[in-house]
Structure 1
Amino acid sequence: MTSAVLDEALKKAALAWVSVGDGPALALWCMPLEGSLLVVSGPGEQHAPGLAEATTATVRLRGDNGGLIVVSDMAVTPLQPGTEEWDTVAPQLAQKRLNASGTFDALVARWAGAGCAIVRLTPADQDAPVTAPNLPADSSTATPRDTPARNETRKPFKLHRVRGA
């Protein structure tokens, strides 16, 4: 049985902070469906290392004001291409995927062909979710990780010196 806070957070989730094991929490786009979250990752999609192979993950969800309202351990269930569950869920997920090129059917076919993983995150029954007032007091911030996407910025060009009045 899940808490009412977790149920509501799951219904409204569009972004979840997911961490696998001792790894960092990653912001992942997700789609709520029947009390669980669906996440797609892999080539050409969001990067979620270890999520497809994991059995559990820690999920942090935010509320309407953008702040953390619940932390829960969730069971990770990968969906396999060609199964009835994949054929039902993948098109729904493709329709919610913003800025994807091609048709929904082409996107689902690309996910299956490229080896993308669709996983279902379901609240674990044995662990109660952490909600207020028991949420962590720290901000859960971390220093930015190294990434090839980071660019060095140059100092702006000055044509002439401006004299003070």
Structure 2
Amino acid sequence: MTAEPSAELLDRALIEEAAKKSGLLWVRRDGGRDRALWHAWVDQAVVVVGDGGEQPLGDLGTGLDVVVTLRSRDKWGRLVAFRAHTELLAPHSEAWQAAVDELKGKRLNALDHDTIADRWAADAQVLRMVPQGPSVEHPGAMPDVAHAAAPAPTGATTREPIPAALPRLVFGRKRRGAS
């Protein structure tokens, strides 16, 4: 007879599988806004690269406690959220190299794919987010409130109304009876 896996092991397995299968996660500092980031899973932690021409990390840095939310790959809904502690990886360290090797495979549209590690070492930050404790949300323990948020403030605007001809261009002209 085999022993049942503990709740902690099942929780860690859910976090790992969700992180491996999802290409996008949300990170939030206490009291802050959720920030969507692409990521990779390396050595039992989530790693992200940002700034220096990559995704903006904003106020994320080393030594922070954050909440990381992962979605289900098939349904795209919230699957699991967990607390994590951030660590800034030193360029060219062993942990940094392992993270960069995995992240390079996820960064498919980089123009400088062959030299991207050098650019990241010079200009970007590679953060590692290590899960801490049990998940705060998981199947069977999800909050009842909606997680919709107002869009982030931006100066972007629409300059003028859409052209009158656009619907015809998009949906095509109505054809008259076939002759």
Do the aligned residues in 2 keep the contact of 1:6 with 1:129 (CA within 8 Å)?
A: no
State the shift of 1:52 in Å.
Answer: 1.8
Seen in structure 2, the aligned counterparts of structure 1 residues 95 and 141 have a Cα distance that, compared at 3 Å, is: same
Q: 1:21 & 1:56 partners in 2: Cα distance?
A: 8
Percent of aligned pairs with the same amino acid: 28
Do the aligned residues in 2 keep the contact of 1:11 with 1:33 (CA within 8 Å)?
A: no
State the shift of 1:129 in Å.
Answer: 3.5
Q: 2:20 & 2:98 partners in 1: Cα distance?
A: 19
- Superposed CA deviations along residues 58-115 of structure 1, whole A, max 9, x for unmatched, are 01111121000111101212111131222332133123212111133x111111111x
Q: Give the match for residue 129 of structure 2.
A: 121
State the shift of 1:121 in Å.
Answer: 1.3
Structure showing greater Rg: 2
Of the structure 1 ranges 7-16 and 127-136, higher mean CA displacement relative to structure 2 is found in: 127-136
State the shift of 1:19 in Å.
Answer: 0.8
What amino acid sits opposite 1:112 in the alignment?
A: A
Q: 1:123 & 1:72 partners in 2: Cα distance?
A: 7
Q: 1:47 & 1:156 partners in 2: Cα distance?
A: 30
State the shift of 1:17 in Å.
Answer: 0.7
Q: Give the match for residue 4 of structure 2.
A: none
Q: Which runs of 4+ in 1 moved over 3 A?
A: 156-159
What amino acid sits opposite 2:119 in the alignment?
A: R
Unaligned runs of 5+ in 1: 160-165
Q: Give the match for residue 154 of structure 1.
A: 160
Do the aligned residues in 1 keep the contact of 2:42 with 2:98 (CA within 8 Å)?
A: no
Structure with greater helix share of residues: 2
Unaligned runs of 5+ in 2: 1-7, 166-179
Seen in structure 2, the aligned counterparts of structure 1 residues 154 and 111 have a Cα distance that, compared at 3 Å, is: same
State the shift of 1:153 in Å.
Answer: 4.4
Q: 2:162 & 2:147 partners in 1: Cα distance?
A: 34
TM-score normalised by L of structure 2: 0.77
State the shift of 1:132 in Å.
Answer: 2.4
Q: 1:99 is paired with a residue of what secondary structure?
A: coil
Match of 1:26 among 17, 27, 35: 35
Q: Give the match for residue 48 of structure 2.
A: 39
Q: Give the match for residue 107 of structure 1.
A: 116
Q: 2:17 is paired with a residue of what secondary structure?
A: helix
Aligned-residue RMSD, C-alpha: 2.0
